[in-house]
Structure 1
Amino acid sequence: MAGASISESSSEGIGSSRKRKLSPTSSGNGTKKLSTMLFDPDSLHCPICVEVLTIPIFQCDNGHLACSSCCPKLRNKCASCALPIGHSRCRAMETVLESVFVPCLNSSLGCTKNISYGNEVAHDEECEFAICLCPVKGCNYPDMYKEIYNHYNRNHSQRSRRETICCGIPFSAKMSISDKILIKREHNKSLLFAVQCFREQYGVYVTVSCIAPPAPEVGEFPYHLSYTVDGHTMIYKSPKMKMVFEVSSEIPQENFMLIPHSLLRGDVLEMEICICKLKKE
């Protein structure tokens, strides 16, 4: 069965007709296939919880549907006719659901992927075209991660070499704890990295994050942090940097180095950082 696409408008009129419209599309080998356009996307939602149906889908003997989560809540009695439900699968509706695809939520920004219906949000969380926010306090300019990089260069960059880093090459980071954030640019990959510190009861939490979605096209970035004072050196190694759509003001719960107050000297932190690009085999 060919992939179906959802349309919420039609020149033939919505509301006056809820029938399927079949139109031929060309496949890769030049043959014609039928694609289905559904005028009523709600037909793919569970009538009980009104959430998108997911496989397995169950039906009673009268053909009424319910999702697998609702059947136990109904004590396996159909909400429409009270017949048993939760034992017989509706294979036909499962087949329809598997065949329905919709454009990515970021299609207007350039994403060309078609996503199985109901999985749009999950895809959006790792789509390379997802919207990120500028990490500069008070700015919050929204755009794709590469455009956030360009925006930062145009509007916030100090144009200094110390601001630019290269993956795989260690660099020194000197920052004021009270400033809380230090932005670094990776020119080759058009990426912004945020070094953040949080002064709390037990010391200063330090973490590094990348302003980009966790998309395969962006990649993964292990990183090393080292802090040395009075001959004492602390080292933190992270196998996978956190990818974020926006910087957070919350204390990190994971992926951080904690520098105790006894090893702090004033308000300035001087660290050695190395951000690497994980190579896929």
Structure 2
Amino acid sequence: MGRVKHNMVKSLGKRTSSSVSPTDGSKKRSTLQMDLEVLECPICFETLTKPIFQCDDGHLACSSCCPKLSNKCPTCAFPIGHIRCRAMESVLGSISIPCPNAKFGCTDNVSYGLESTHVKECIFSRCSCPALDCDYTGSYRNVCKHYYSYISSRSTPLHHYAFLLYKASSTVRMNISDKIKIHVDYTNELLFVVQCFRESYSVCVTVSCIAPSSAKVGKFSYQLSYTVDGDTMTYESPDMKRILKVSFQTPLEKFMLIPHSSLRGDLLETKLTIKKVIQV
């Protein structure tokens, strides 16, 4: 991962930054060129982020690498991980670059090293179609339109989908082996994904919205309930995950856990309620 990042940064060439002109007492900005490789940890080649440490001889290392090195500089063997390099932290904090989605219309400048965080929230970020055999990407609204057109044009079922009514409890019937069911909010151009993950002793059920985590999209909560032999288990999430691409890896958070002993075959029937969260 580090080497891929290193090569990507090299391909960017040089970026412009700002400096203060010493010609008078006022602060004037002038452009300069900087090789972005100097902003990488020389050990893992990832972008340096605060805190940045240096050894007694001035060699740098990121906070993640210091413990792996037993706090010993690999260049000179001096101790490292105790002295902050405030100068490099100031340099890093002063640099901003255009959003990776600039070509799609985003005009924001992003602090260097925080591009991936911004992309998760950027309204211009590309989302992926949830269909397994489709590689279409686009804005979350275009993905919704594309998906609905895509499944409507197929002669054989892609996977189960249903239309969404907010605040109303709807029955979600799906085979656990199908792994995914899509709920379409065609009015607001949003896709919601219900996923099942069969593990050794249980099934995980989670719900996500295919969209960036932008305030312009909105925030959603949901409730899942499952009833078997008169007993009901319920899971509530006040903040539904918003994702750019569907993952088929078992989630580490925000899911309902149903033991195998509570299942009745492959058919899973749950009650789902999705609500828009009013933001103030």
Query: What is the TM-score with the length of structure 2 in the denominator?
Result: 0.71
- Which of 40, 48, 52 is the aligned partner of 1:53? 48
1:99 and 2:90 equivalent? Answer: no
How far apart are residue 212 of structure 1 and its match?
Answer: 2.1
Aligned residues: 258
Are the equivalent residues in 2 in contact too, given 1:206–1:257 (CA < 8 A)?
A: yes
Q: Which position in structure 2 is the counterpart of 1:223?
A: 222
CA distance in 2, matches of 1:157, 1:186: 15
CA distance in 1, matches of 2:18, 2:235: 58
CA deviation map 1:156-177 (0-9, x unaligned): 148xxx8221332322323333
Are the equivalent residues in 2 in contact too, given 1:224–1:238 (CA < 8 A)?
A: yes
Q: 1:46 to 1:224 in 2, by over 3 A?
A: closer
**1:1-281 correspondence to structure 2 within 5 Å:** 8=12, 34-47=29-42, 50-57=45-52, 64-67=58-61, 69=63, 73=69, 79=75, 91-157=86-152, 163-229=162-228, 231-261=230-260, 263-265=262-264, 267-281=266-280
Are the equivalent residues in 2 in contact too, given 1:60–1:78 (CA < 8 A)?
A: no
Q: Which runs of 5+ in 1 are unaligned?
A: 1-6, 25-31
Q: Which position in structure 2 is the counterpart of 1:27?
A: none
CA distance in 2, matches of 1:66, 1:229: 58
CA distance in 1, matches of 2:221, 2:243: 15
Between 86-95 and 144-153, report the one with greater CA deviation. Answer: 86-95
Q: 1:252 to 1:91 in 2, by over 3 A?
A: closer
CA distance in 2, matches of 1:84, 1:253: 36
Q: 1:226 to 1:76 in 2, by over 3 A?
A: closer
How far apart are residue 61 of structure 1 and its match?
Answer: 8.3
Are the equivalent residues in 1 in contact too, given 2:129–2:135 (CA < 8 A)?
A: yes
Are the equivalent residues in 1 in contact too, given 2:18–2:29 (CA < 8 A)?
A: no
How far apart are residue 214 of structure 1 and its match?
Answer: 2.9
The DSSP-based 3-state class of the residue aligned with 1:163 is strand
Are the equivalent residues in 1 in contact too, given 2:184–2:192 (CA < 8 A)?
A: yes
- Root mean square deviation of aligned Cα: 4.0
Q: 1:201 to 1:94 in 2, by over 3 A?
A: closer
Are the equivalent residues in 2 in contact too, given 1:225–1:272 (CA < 8 A)?
A: yes
Q: Which runs of 5+ in 2 are unaligned?
A: 1-10, 22-26, 154-160
Query: What is the TM-score with the length of structure 1 in the denominator?
Result: 0.71
Q: 1:144 to 1:61 in 2, by over 3 A?
A: same
CA distance in 1, matches of 2:54, 2:263: 65
Q: 1:274 to 1:20 in 2, by over 3 A?
A: closer
CA deviation map 1:212-236 (0-9, x unaligned): 2333433332111123455443322
Q: 1:185 to 1:121 in 2, by over 3 A?
A: same
Q: 1:49 to 1:234 in 2, by over 3 A?
A: closer
Amino acid at match of 1:248: S
CA distance in 1, matches of 2:85, 2:175: 62
How far apart are residue 242 of structure 1 and its match?
Answer: 2.4
CA distance in 1, matches of 2:66, 2:254: 40
CA distance in 2, matches of 1:147, 1:248: 20
CA distance in 1, matches of 2:132, 2:51: 46
CA deviation map 1:224-254 (0-9, x unaligned): 1123455443322222222223223334443
Q: 1:196 to 1:101 in 2, by over 3 A?
A: same
Are the equivalent residues in 2 in contact too, given 1:56–1:67 (CA < 8 A)?
A: no
CA distance in 2, matches of 1:239, 1:84: 46
Amino acid at match of 2:128: L
Are the equivalent residues in 1 in contact too, given 2:16–2:31 (CA < 8 A)?
A: no
